[in-house]
Amino acid sequence: MVKDWIKSRTGRLWPWIALPLRVARHLTRSVRDLPRMLRPDRIRATRRFAADCRRALEIDGRRLSVAVDVSPYWEKLTGVGWYLHQILAHLAGDDSVRLELYGPTVFLDAADPEPAVPLPAGPALRRAAIIVPRDVLFPRLLLGVLRRLEPWILARRAHDVVFAPNFLVPAKLRRCRGARVVTVHDLGVRHVAWSLDDRTREALERDLARSVAGAAAVITPSRAVRDEVVASGLAPAAAVVAIHHGPGQVGTVTAPRPPGVPACYALFVGTLEPRKNLDVVLDAWPSLCAERADWPLLVVCGGWGWKTERVRDRVESAHAAGWLLHLGYVDDAALGALYRDALFLVFPSLYEGFGLPLLEAMAAGCPALCSDLPVFHEVAGPAARYVPSADAAAWTAALRRLHDDDAGRAELSRQGVARAAEFSWERAARETLDVLRGVAAGAAAVDGPSRRDHARRSVA
């Protein structure tokens, strides 16, 4: 109880107040083990570990060195995670670059948590990790100290670039040397802040402007977001580069539809959260079911997000009424099969930075009915139909027209496949690498050749 009271009063200072207390507790517990701990073999192991850590700080000066935040891998991969996965997978074979992958970094005897999806492998990629062996002096104490000092330890690494693919440079990499490149996927925090998860909103409100202001380059997934970033004053136009995503991660799919999905259905794909605006479709569907005995089932594919109390009640009621099937989060094969066989996709978002489900649907030949957003026009062009996002009556009429227009759906399918072929993850990865090389060259021109030499001396 005293500990909780102190934590509530000290806030962010608590970890630093607690560190010496933790050290003292570990030392006290270890007094009886001192003879065993101070054996010569443990001292030698500790020296080897220190030497290994010192070598791990060295940078290969023969190729571009980039620190990459891969923390999205330790959650179920949604838009940002799949973006990062595709960029890394398509750069993995390029041995002219070294991408150091920073997720959870400091572990005891390699006992680290597994990522949700395995990290790509290749000569360009190396997982950054400090493994504390169990045979060193006071291993658990050392583990705690290293985790607390991690940002200062990593600050000794002189990367050419620090790449933050998820809006913000994480705390552990903020002291790393190297030019910053930040991907800003959207400006939802400026346009639909009310719809964001509160912790995400607070973090973006607190740190996004600082993160972008410190960046040598900002990558956006669309020209629409690029224009928003420039218009908002977050970054100058010359520093912001729009790089389109590729056509999703589902690829060519031969798997059957998930169990329980009928032959005739319409599809919604996305995390269930307010910005996705599923409500406007839920408003339209019951009246269409009443009009047409053969009206298709609405299949909802996506996990529960945040602020979902109202839509959760509506989804459960619709499921009970028999006109909606909620599958939750599905794997790639199931998602690809759902796109392939759907009558059409509904994508009614209030705001997006790109709209990956729209491109995935087009690539699979699935006709799309989506919100009338500038970014969707940028992605789909004439290969989709558009409806004002908040107009339930317009959605009802547009759904009816698309359902009844077999020839129109076939034409949208043909146009969508052709349009999706213009997007490529290989090109997105190559253009991203061009940005990383460009900011590294610019930093080298400003800092001079001594920067890397100083880094080598600092770990020598």
How far is it, in rounded angstroms, from Cα 224 to Cα 380?
Answer: 13
Beta carbons of 344 and 305 less than 8 angstroms apart:
no
Q: Quote the mean pLDDT of the chain.
A: 86
Does domain 265-420 fall under CATH 3.40.50.300? My reply is: no
Q: Is the four-CA dihedral 31, 37, 39, 40 of positive or negative sign?
A: negative
Bridge partners of 34? Answer: none
pLDDT tens, residue by residue, 186-217: 999 999 999 999 999 999 999 999 999 989 99
Exposure of 366 by Cβ count < 10 A (0-12 exposed, 13-18 middle, 19+ buried)?
buried
DSSP class of 276: G
pLDDT tens, residue by residue, 329-345: 888 889 999 999 999 99
> Other C-beta atoms within 10 Å of 27: how many?
12
Matching CATH topology for 63-246+424-452 and 265-420? yes
Look at residues 86, 93, 79 and name the one whose alpha carbon lies nearest to residue 427: 86
pLDDT tens, residue by residue, 57-97: 666 667 899 999 999 998 887 788 889 999 999 999 998 99
- Looking at residue 4, its pLDDT comes to 66
Q: How do beta strands 297-301 and 97-102 pair?
A: unpaired
CA of residue 325 relative to chain centroid, distance:
27
- Looking at residue 197, its pLDDT comes to 92
Look at residues 301, 304, 294, 281 and name the one whose alpha carbon lies nearest to residue 370: 281
Architecture of domain 63-246+424-452: 3-Layer(aba) Sandwich (3.40)
Tokens matching residue 17? 């107040």
- The pLDDT-based confidence of 5 (bands split at 50, 70, 90) is low
pTM: 0.83
Residue whose pair of structure tokens reads 């010359």 in the numeric block: 238
pLDDT tens, residue by residue, 146-192: 788 788 877 777 889 999 999 999 988 988 889 999 999 999 999 99
Look at residues 121, 359, 378 and name the one whose alpha carbon lies nearest to residue 251: 359
Domains in the chain: boundaries: 63-246+424-452, 265-420
Beta carbons of 159 and 181 less than 8 angstroms apart:
no
pLDDT tens, residue by residue, 257-316: 889 899 999 999 999 999 999 999 999 999 999 999 889 999 999 999 999 998 999 999
